[in-house]
Amino acid sequence: MNTIRVGSRESRLAVAQAEEVIARLGVPCELITMKTTGDKILDRTLDQVGGKGLFVRELDRALAEGRIDVAVHSLKDLPMEQPEGLPVVAYPPREDARDALVLPAGADAPDFSRPIGCSSARRKVQLEALFPGVRVEPVRGNVLTRLEKLDAGLYGALVLAAAGLRRLGLEKRISRLFSPEELLPAAGQGVLAVQARAGERTALLSTLDCARSRACALAERAVVRGLDGGCFAPIAAYAELDGSRLRVRGLYAAQGHIWRAEACGDAADAQALGAGTARQLIEQAKGAGAW
């Protein structure tokens, strides 16, 4: 079998994620890393420079041009629509989807005299509801860069995805995990997306796919798509599978209000359940004149 060229961003987290996929493939692979536009622009928030698509464009181009055979992404980074001919072909088993509170090294409680660092509108609105009066300010850079800023005293705490910390072996930095009732996760948080050229290596790549991850991913992204949500809208979506029954929860915020909705049904109807959750949220927002 020819060596499979696996592409990823060059950050330590992206490499760890790609190596996880390579280990699951169990065939000869070559890891090819690249710096994306989103990795290069660190002095502005993502909504000011074009969105999370900045983290995948170079990988999309390399895949389309045949310079790599597979791309591994954090599903959170993928735009709602994929380029023609470059589908997501597998969703490996999900890591912890929850958000984590991270404190400065040596601290045993958050210092609310300093801001909580996060760059997510979803986290921001929920943190402000959970901790009234707290300041939430953006923090850019990869996980390790953010931790350096935290330990340097720029923030009183950070909120990061538990999945990224675990994949980097940084579980000890987690002070506490937020339940979905406290902070509803982002759609696809903790899920990896394996992208390839349509029709190529189908049998091999299908071995990476986890039915549980796929159902949850499809449902959660359907919530965001139904809300016409860009990367920076205050939207959250989280699905849990119990047997064949899927529970989908969604959140939407606007004009100082937060609305929540959920739907339950068969996992085979994952996208329909996500779309139905989005419709409930839209009706609530419309009723308040916020849609």
Task: List the catalytic residues.
Answer: 77
Cβ atoms of residues 257 and 208 within 8 Å: no
Residues with Cβ < 8 Å from 123, sequence gap 6 or more?
A: 99, 136, 159, 183
Cβ atoms of residues 24 and 209 within 8 Å: no
What is the C-alpha separation between 169 and 280, in angstroms, rounded?
39
Name the amino acid, one letter, at 266: D
Helix (H, G, I), strand (E, B) or coil at 82: coil
What is the C-alpha separation between 62 and 269, in angstroms, rounded?
34
Q: Within the chain, what is the greatest distance between any pair of CA atoms?
A: 59
Question: Rounded to whole angstroms, what are the CA distances from 59 to 23, 27, 56, 63?
Answer: 20, 21, 5, 6
For CA atoms 46, 50, 52, 58, give the dihedral sign. Answer: negative
Q: At 202, give phi and psi (nearest 5°).
A: -60, -45
Cβ atoms of residues 115 and 156 within 8 Å: yes
